[in-house]
Amino acid sequence: MVGLAPGTVWAVSDLHVAYDANKAIVEAMRPAADDDWLLVAGDVGENFADIEWTLKTLAERYATVVWSPGNHELWTPKDDPVQSRGVARYEALVEMCRGYGVHTPEDPFPVWNGDGGPITVAPLFLLYDYSFRPEGATTTEEGLALAYAAGIVCTDEFFLHPDPYATRAEWCAARVAYSEKRLSAVTTPTILMNHWPLVREPTRILRHQVFAQWCGTELTADWHTRFGAHTVVYGHLHIPRTTAYDGVPFEEVSLGYPREWTAHGGFRGPRRILPRAGGRP
């Protein structure tokens, strides 16, 4: 019998701490209680030192910190002293996290035994494979051509290197296979946490639909039901909101850029994921 522990699971993403106003938000961020967990769903920043400062700072304050990488962590910025690319950069980030006790997609999944538990918190790193194609495109090449023609091209094309994979889509396929295998062994309900949404629907409100191809993969369209998700946590879109698919809540928990969160009326802090008001859906 698992005892109930107090505490709250919070989630946030897209901290983008290269912006001073965002860094100030991280500096001010505190748990509500000693037992609180914080899920950080990617796009902490671009420079290795910024990412390390943020995760170290949060790990000193929250009982448990869980991190999934976003596309920005995986960039290799020209001015970053850490010049590793692709898988090597990801592995360096994972090692850095382990030094501070931060859980990554390469570690055993932590289990929440507080109110609503046991629930397995599964940080995922799935990337995207250009399968969220724009209307009129039947291949990746056609989808990308439409994006280039519209002048809407994700910066990942220039800074997110897939080495040693040939393409980001190949890296995505490998990540999906690895994650699918690990999730298949989980026997409790899950919190699935991934920088990119697991289903395409949240991208339908993007102003530029050609951008959706950098936002996920069709390969995970049924994971929220197949892997017993209590909640799916994601970011990347910078459109914080709660939606539901097949009765499963999807929480977009981004802070976003200062111009975005000021336009949203300010940042109200990380989103509460557990315990969920009203109990399990």
Question: Which residues of the shown chain bind Fe ion in the complex (CB under 5 A)?
Answer: 14, 43, 70-71, 236
DSSP summary character for residue 204: G
By beta-carbon proximity to Fe ion, the closer residue of 71 and 76 is 71
Minimum separation from the CB atom of position 177 to Fe ion (A): 22
By beta-carbon proximity to Fe ion, the closer residue of 120 and 194 is 194
Q: What is the Cα 38 distance to its own chain's centre?
A: 12
Write out the two tokens for 125: 């790193």
Minimum separation from the CB atom of position 16 to Fe ion (A): 6
Q: What share of the chain is helix, strand, coil (3-state, %, to 5)?
A: 35, 15, 50
By beta-carbon proximity to Fe ion, the closer residue of 71 and 231 is 71
Dist CA 27 CA 8 (whole Å) = 20
Residue 211 φ/ψ, nearest 5 degrees: -75, -20
Minimum separation from the CB atom of position 194 to Fe ion (A): 11
User: Residue 98: which residues within 8 A CB-CB, separation 6 or more?
Assistant: 104, 107
By beta-carbon proximity to Fe ion, the closer residue of 16 and 230 is 16
Minimum separation from the CB atom of position 153 to Fe ion (A): 14
Minimum separation from the CB atom of position 256 to Fe ion (A): 7
By beta-carbon proximity to Fe ion, the closer residue of 194 and 209 is 194
Provide the 3-class DSSP secondary structure of residue 170. Answer: helix
Pairing mode of beta strands 229-234, 64-67 = unpaired
Spatial CA neighbour of 230 closest among 64, 116, 123: 116
By beta-carbon proximity to Fe ion, the closer residue of 71 and 104 is 71
Minimum separation from the CB atom of position 72 to Fe ion (A): 6
Preceding amide of 118 cis, omega within 30 = yes
How wide is the angle at C-alpha 140 spanned by C-alphas 205 and 238, nearest 5°?
Answer: 30
Q: Which DSSP string corresponds to 56-70?
A: HHHHHHSSEEEE---
Dist CA 127 CA 160 (whole Å) = 11
By beta-carbon proximity to Fe ion, the closer residue of 70 and 105 is 70
Minimum separation from the CB atom of position 22 to Fe ion (A): 11
